Amino acid sequence: MSQLSISPAVGPLRGTVTVPGDKSITHRALILGALAQGQTRITGYSRGEDCLNTLGVVRDLGVDVEEITEGLVVTGKGLWGLSEPTNVLDCGNSGTGLRLLAGVLAGQPFFSVLTGDASLRSRPMGRVVNPLRQMGGTISGRNGGSSAPLAIQGGNLQSVIYESPVASAQIKSCVLLAGLFAEGTTTVKEPIKSRDHSERMLQYFGVSLKVDGCTVQVAGRESFEGKPVIVPGDISAAAFFLVAASIVPDSDVLLTGIGLNPERTGILEVLSAMGADIAILNKREESGEPVGDLRVRSTRLIGTTIGAELIPKTIDELPIVCVAAALADGETRITGAEELRVKETDRIHAMAVQLAKIGVVLEEQPDGLVIQGGSTLRGAVCQSYGDHRVVMSLAIAALVADEAIVIEDVDCVETSFPGFHGKLLDLLTNPR
C-alpha cells in the first residue's frame, strides 16, 4: 500500500500544464476503430490503466493495435470481423470499458466473458444487461447478471426503443453500440441528456445517427471507415488544477488542449457560479469534439447550489468540487447525486469522512452533501478507498492545509492520471 504526502504550498501555482487524453473518448476511439473498416490513427490517447485495459481487450478480440510515436494505429476488422477470445476479457477498474464492450459483444456471433477488479465486480451491471437482453442478447452473471463477471453468448440482435431510468452515458452508449449490430433502428431515451461522446464519435465515423433532445437513434448494420482521431485533454483531470489554481493565492495556470464538450463542462459552470476566474482561449474543434485552452487565476470562491440538472455534466468532478466548497465562503449544497454512491467507491461517503477528518464541517445526505465553507484545513492521514479521484482531491486540499496531508493507497491514480504528482510539483513555484 503506497502513500503520498503533500505539504502546504508556500507559493502560488504558475505555468502551463497538459493533462492526459480524455478517457471517455479514448475508450470509444479504440472500440469504434476496432469495428471500422481500415485504419484509425489515435493521437493524444489516455495512457491510464483504464484505457490500456480496453486496448488489451480489443487486441484479445483479434484487432491489431500498433503503438507509434504519435499514438496508436488501430486496424479495424469491421462490424463482424472480431474473433472469439481464448481468455476472459479483463477491464480492470473501468466501468466505461466493461459496459461499452458488453454492447459490442452482445452482437458478436461468439462467446465471451467480461470481468474486472474487485471494485468493478461490485458495481451495478443490470442497468446494461437488461436492455441488452431486451434486444435478444444472452447474458448471464453473478446476482442474476447484475454483477460481473458477465458471460455473453452473442448473436442476432433486434432493435429496441429503450427508456433509460437514469441519465447515463455508459448505458446509452452500450445500447447504441449494440444497435450497430441490430436489424432496424435502435432508440435510447433518457430523462436528462447525458454526455454525448458516443453520438459525436459515431457521427464523426459516418454512422447514421439522429439526436433529438434526450432521444438518440442509430441505424443498425451499417459499415463505416476508420478515421484519424485526436483525443483532447480530459476535463475531469483538468478539474483538479482548475480548483488548485483557484484556491492557492496568486496562482496563474494555463491548461492546454482541454475537451470542452458541453455535456462535460459542468465543472466550469459550477466554478463560474462560485466566482472562479477561468478564461476559455483558442476555441476549436477536433475529431467532432470542441477543444480549448483554460487559463485560471486564483480568487475568493463563494458557496453555491448544485442540483440534479447539473449532476450528469459534473458527476466525475464532484469530489474536487467538494474541496472547492470547503474553501469557499458560505454554504454549498449538492443534491441529486446518488449516482456517486456506485462509482469506484461510495464517493459521497468517502469525501464526507475524509473531509471531516481534515476539519471540514459538512453533512452527508442520501443524495449529496451540505458543506460549510471557510474551513481551516488541518493535516491528517487520509484514506483513498482505492479511488483515484478521492486521492487527487485530497492532494489538492493539502495545498492549503496547515500541515501535510498523508494519503494512503494511492496507486489507483494510475487508472486515470499517470504522473499527476509530478505535474502538480512542476506548477509549485516553491515546492518542498
List all residues 6 or more positions away from 389 whose beta carbon is below 8 Å from its beta carbon: 236, 316, 319, 320, 343, 344, 347, 416
* Strand residues in 155-276 grouped as ranges (E): 157-158, 161-163, 182-183, 185-189, 209-212, 215-219, 229-230, 252-259
Q: How far apart, in whole angstroms, are the C-alpha atoms of residue 57 and residue 46?
A: 15
Active-site annotation holder among 234, 293, 316, 387? 316
List all residues 6 or more positions away from 50 whose beta carbon is below 8 Å from its beta carbon: 23, 27, 92, 93, 94, 96, 97, 415, 416
**What Å distances lie between residue 175 and 103, 152, 230, 367, 389, CA to CA?**
6, 15, 25, 27, 27
Count the helix, strand and coil residues of the chain and give each as a percent rounded to the nearest 5: 35, 30, 35
For the record, the C-alpha cell of 70 comes out as 504519435
Residue type at 213 in one-letter notation: G
Q: How far apart, in whole angstroms, are the C-alpha atoms of residue 166 and residue 312?
A: 10
Residue type at 86 in one-letter notation: T
Q: How far apart, in whole angstroms, are the C-alpha atoms of residue 50 and residue 75?
A: 21
Helices (H) and strands (E) in the chain, counts: 15, 25
For the record, the C-alpha cell of 333 comes out as 449544497
* Whether 212 is catalytic: no
Catalytic residues: 316
